[in-house]
């Protein structure tokens, strides 16, 4: 080991309020020497002889150890506190990291490039002309002032990357506007929570403020389609307890409860562990106990309790469903099924094969697929009942096949148009951390590959 030859001592420790940031405390007659070295490595001065390393990629412990090695090689004494040493040695990865095929070293390289882009923007080297929303992430276009090269940026925080380059700002802006004109906004995007927390860590060493006692938000009255999902398992249990003509059994291997009407022509499957946006309920009807399925209706895990209760009530009402063989869906059946929406003033539009009814706020609707209705043996849903940002990204959805009784669709439509229930506002929580410490790198969960970094079309 190199014997310290410079009268300076550097103590590296974890930040008191920022989960991954690192503090360097300098002492000694020549403390200015490591001070200069650390500032050059993008450590920030927060007090006399005190610097902070705060990054958006949360790799501060790794880079702190790299800085320690360089300082020791230069003849400077370095102390690493036990808690920082634990963070350095801890193997971790990002939760739901999209590039799941990357090794830990490759993940760090991607994050380091995102950090360089962030630093270039923060220091004014990269001028952002405009930004836009692209699905669930942010895209932007900007120009490096020192080279004149324009770039298209995709992603946020540790996933931001240069996805394309252009010869001039004009070319970049024209291409960017052509693709993102609907959500395009001038200048850089607002700071993310991660960027804001990182900026705070660079300017303050204050102790964490005491968290106030959380208050329980009062529920608010909302339309049925925007109500809370409630406890789906409790809804099913209550339904079965109060309707003796239904029997059930549970298959523990796949976590599913099966319920069958005594006629054996109507069946319910409830997948208890299904995620909010995936199918959690399947209702199927048969002409006879041994015939092929007549119609099927599915519901996702986030379906509001009043909508699901209406469905169960109608299944309990023998007039609410029909297992008799029916003809293909005709105009009369569609009119009967959607009359409650028309009477409520919902907007009616036709877009090719799709006929839609949407409420005034456009956050709930019913869609009828003419093509699917004429193809009773395919897997395309004829009816889609939904609520959320859009039919393409619903918070919840029901899908029904061609022969689903018009009366059942009409009852659900009535609940959408006129029903109300309660929704509890989100409970106050501490800001979410974008990373998840794990014992092995294999704990990363894929959410699919990132958007290809090709030229804008």
Structure letter (DSSP) for residue 93:
B
299: which residues sit within 8 A by CB, 6+ positions away?
279, 280, 281, 283, 307, 308, 311, 396, 397, 398
Structure letter (DSSP) for residue 7:
S
> CA angle 367-368-371, nearest 5°?
135
Given a contact cutoff of 8 angstroms between Cβ atoms, the answer to whether 309 and 326 are in contact is no
Q: How many angstroms separate the CA atoms of 413 and 401, rounded?
A: 16
Per the DSSP assignment, residues forming a β-bridge with 421 are 222
Whole-number pLDDT of residue 325: 46
Q: How many angstroms separate the CA atoms of 436 and 443, rounded?
A: 9
Given a contact cutoff of 8 angstroms between Cβ atoms, the answer to whether 21 and 50 are in contact is no
pLDDT tens-place values along the chain, 457 residues long: 455 578 999 999 999 888 889 999 999 999 999 999 999 988 999 889 999 999 998 899 999 999 999 999 999 999 999 999 998 988 777 777 888 888 888 888 999 999 999 999 988 999 999 999 988 899 999 999 999 999 999 999 999 999 999 999 999 999 999 999 888 999 999 999 889 989 888 887 765 555 666 666 788 999 999 999 999 999 999 999 999 999 998 766 677 899 999 999 999 999 998 889 999 999 999 988 888 888 999 999 999 999 999 999 999 986 545 544 445 678 999 999 999 999 999 999 999 999 999 999 999 999 999 998 987 666 789 999 999 999 989 999 999 998 899 999 999 999 999 999 999 876 554 433 433 333 232 222 223 333 333 333 2
Per the DSSP assignment, residues forming a β-bridge with 86 are none
Q: How many angstroms separate the CA atoms of 289 and 47, rounded?
A: 78
Q: How many angstroms separate the CA atoms of 305 and 408, rounded?
A: 17
- Quick one: which of 90, 94, 39 has its CA closest to 436? 94
Please compute, for residue 342, the number of CA atoms within 13 A of its CA located in the half-sphere on the CB side: 9
Given a contact cutoff of 8 angstroms between Cβ atoms, the answer to whether 258 and 249 are in contact is yes
- Quick one: which of 180, 171, 167, 56 has its CA closest to 130? 180
Tell me the H-state helices in 250-316: 305-316
Helix (H) or strand (E) holding 33: helix 32-40
Given a contact cutoff of 8 angstroms between Cβ atoms, the answer to whether 21 and 207 are in contact is no
* Model pLDDT for residues 59-115, shown as the tens digit of each residue: 999 999 999 999 999 999 999 999 999 989 887 777 778 888 888 888 889 999 999
- Quick one: which of 8, 4, 23 has its CA closest to 84? 23
- Number of Cβ within 10 Å of residue 377's Cβ equals 7
Q: Would you say the C-alpha torsion 312, 317, 323, 328 has a positive or negative sign?
A: negative
**DSSP per-residue string spanning 383-449:** EEEEESS-SSS-SEEEEE-TTS-HHHHHHHHHHHHH-EEEEPPPPP-PPPPS-B--SSGGG-----P
Q: How many angstroms separate the CA atoms of 289 and 29, rounded?
A: 90
Residues across the chain: 457
Given a contact cutoff of 8 angstroms between Cβ atoms, the answer to whether 202 and 45 are in contact is no
Q: How many angstroms separate the CA atoms of 454 and 456, rounded?
A: 6
Angle between helices 232-242 and 305-316 (to 10 degrees): 20
Q: How many angstroms separate the CA atoms of 12 and 41, rounded?
A: 15
27: which residues sit within 8 A by CB, 6+ positions away?
8, 9, 11, 49
- Quick one: which of 27, 114, 127 has its CA closest to 79? 27
136: which residues sit within 8 A by CB, 6+ positions away?
none
């Amino acid at each position: 080991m190199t014997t310290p030859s410079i009268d300076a001592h550097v103590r590296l420790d974890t930040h008191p309020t920022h989960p991954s940031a690192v503090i360097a405390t300098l002492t000694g007659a020549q403390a200015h020497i490591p001070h200069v070295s650390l500032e050059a490595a993008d450590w920030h001065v927060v007090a006399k002889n005190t610097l902070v390393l705060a990054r958006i990629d949360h790799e501060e412990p790794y880079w702190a150890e790299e800085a320690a090695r360089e300082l020791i090689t230069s003849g400077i004494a370095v102390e690493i506190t036990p808690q920082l040493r634990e963070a350095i040695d801890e193997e971790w990865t990002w939760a739901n990291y999209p590039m799941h095929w990357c090794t830990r070293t490759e993940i760090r390289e991607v994050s380091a490039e995102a950090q360089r882009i962030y630093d270039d923007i923060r220091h004014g080297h990269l001028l952002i002309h405009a930004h836009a929303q692209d699905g669930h992430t942010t895209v932007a276009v900007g120009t490096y002032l020192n080279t004149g090269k324009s770039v298209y940026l995709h992603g946020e925080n540790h996933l931001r990357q240069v996805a394309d380059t252009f010869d001039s700002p004009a070319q970049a802006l024209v291409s960017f506007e052509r693709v993102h004109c609907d959500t395009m906004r001038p200048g850089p995007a607002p700071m993310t929570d991660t960027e804001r927390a990182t900026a705070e860590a660079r300017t303050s060493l204050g102790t964490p403020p005491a968290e106030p006692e959380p208050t329980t938000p009062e529920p608010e009255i909302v339309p049925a389609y925007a109500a809370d999902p409630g406890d789906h398992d409790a809804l099913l249990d209550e339904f079965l307890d109060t309707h003796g003509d239904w029997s059930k059994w549970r298959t523990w291997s796949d976590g599913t409860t099966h319920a069958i009407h005594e006629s054996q022509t109507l069946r319910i499957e409830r997948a208890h562990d299904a995620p909010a946006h995936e199918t959690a309920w399947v209702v199927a009807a048969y002409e006879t106990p041994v015939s092929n399925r007549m119609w099927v209706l599915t519901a996702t895990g986030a379906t509001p309790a009043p909508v699901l209760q209406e469905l169960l009530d109608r299944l309990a009402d023998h007039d609410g469903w029909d297992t008799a063989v029916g003809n293909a869906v005709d105009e009369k059946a569609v009119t009967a099924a959607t009359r409650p929406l028309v009477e409520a003033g919902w907007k009616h539009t036709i877009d090719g094969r799709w006929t839609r009814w949407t409420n005034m706020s456009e956050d709930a609707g019913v869609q009828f697929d003419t093509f699917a209705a004429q193809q009773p043996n395919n897997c395309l849903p004829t009816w889609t009942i939904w609520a959320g940002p859009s039919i393409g990204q619903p918070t919840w959805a029901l899908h029904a096949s061609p022969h689903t009784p018009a009366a059942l669709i009409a009852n659900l439509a009535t609940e959408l148009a006129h029903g109300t229930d309660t929704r509890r506002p989100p409970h106050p929580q501490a800001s979410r951390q974008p990373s998840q410490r794990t014992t092995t790198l294999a704990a990363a969960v894929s959410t699919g590959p990132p958007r290809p970094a090709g030229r804008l079309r």
